[in-house]
Structure formats: structure tokens, C-alpha cells
Structure 1
């Protein structure tokens, strides 16, 4: 399995304040690309927060979940494709989700919270660190 070559896709749309695992993350944006594949349409989403690419997810239009995901490494390269959606950890305060952690980046889920900052070296072979509840 190789990463999708975005030069073979056409831009489709940009979504801001993306809903990830049922949680809206202010400032998380995704650029979606599409291309025909016989009777189906392939799609790739590249997700960014605070100007930093975090992950790429792809599959086919109409599928309920990501078919594959690649995480952006701290050196700027893409990690290997892995099946499914990106690993996401939720930080909670009581019953409310206050942040998501993806590949070492903490993404606050409430407006007005400080921007995400890397928590140590991101390694796509290691699950994200447990989030800290503010």
C-alpha cells in the first residue's frame, strides 16, 4: 500500500472546524480531493491544525470510515499507511470532551483555548500519548 498521489486528484472542498469522532475541533481543517475510479470515487482528506499537517485519510466516497490513514512525522515526511482512521484519544473534564490528541498534538475542543502544541517527538509507530485533562 502506498500513499495517494494528490497530483492525480482534483480539489473537492475545504472544511473548517472539522468534526472528528463526533467532536467538533475549532481550527482543525481538512482539504478533500477526489478522483474517479471506475464506478466509484476515491477521496483523500489532508487534515491541518494551526498550520501543521497532522494526517491524511483516504478511501471511497460513501464509506462510513477511513479506509487508510498516514500520520505526518516530526521530520515532515509521511508515516506508513495503516488501516482505518487515525488514532484519537479524548481528554474529558467530567462528561465533556475538552481536547483530542492525535499523533502527539493536543487539539482543544472549545473556542478560546490555546492552540495545539506538539507533546514530544511524534512517532507514527507509537500510539499518541494519553491526554492531560486541563
Structure 2
């Protein structure tokens, strides 16, 4: 399964994130791959809005590692950018979130690859120019 789409503004990325949640259920894990500034957090803002959470509350949890947002569904937002090893994720209870009562979205998932559940949905984001973002959604085969 693979699906692609392109956005041309942060607002459009948010709209796509909002629509994306229609395909999600409690217990789903979404992994976002992309360079700094690729649009990962804008996409998460849209996901949050889709769950009835104020998108303005969403920020990249680079220094806190995990943000929890409560709306129609709970959204667990991880940022693994500063993690040195998967052990750090285990120490903060990552696996409890992955199999918890919400939807988990992970920025920089490659830093904790061995902990990612096999059912995770992977979204790679490329920025071919200043405004354009290309998204590829897939299940990853390990």
C-alpha cells in the first residue's frame, strides 16, 4: 500500500493532516520521516485539529520528547530527534504509548527503529523547494 500527495503551503499541509486522521484508529502509530523544516509538525497540527484539539497547542516536543493532546481521541506526539538510543525511549515508557489508548505520531522514528510496532504507518516528507512538500504514505516492510 502506498499513497502520495503534494502540498504547496503550511496551511495545505495542515488540511491534509486533518483529513488523514479519518483513516486512523486507537492504537495506530504514525512515523514521520523528513529533514528539519519538511513539515512534520504542520502535519501533526492538522491531525490534532482532526481530533478536536486546537492546532495552536501543538508544537514539536524536541525538548520534552512527548506531548499528549486530548480531544475526541488522544494524540501522543513524540520527537526522537535528540534521543541517543532506543533505550531512552524505553525509559520514558514509549511502548506503553504505542499500545495505549490513543494515536501515536513519531517524528524522527529512525532513531528508535527497533521499537516501532510492525503495524506502524510510515510517511516520508520531502521538500523539493521552499513551498512544496511531497508526502508518501506506506506500510514499511522490515
The normalised TM-score by structure 1 is: 0.28
- Which one has a larger percent helix, Structure 1 or Structure 2? 2
Structure of greater relative contact order (alpha carbons < 8 Å, 6+ residues apart) = 2
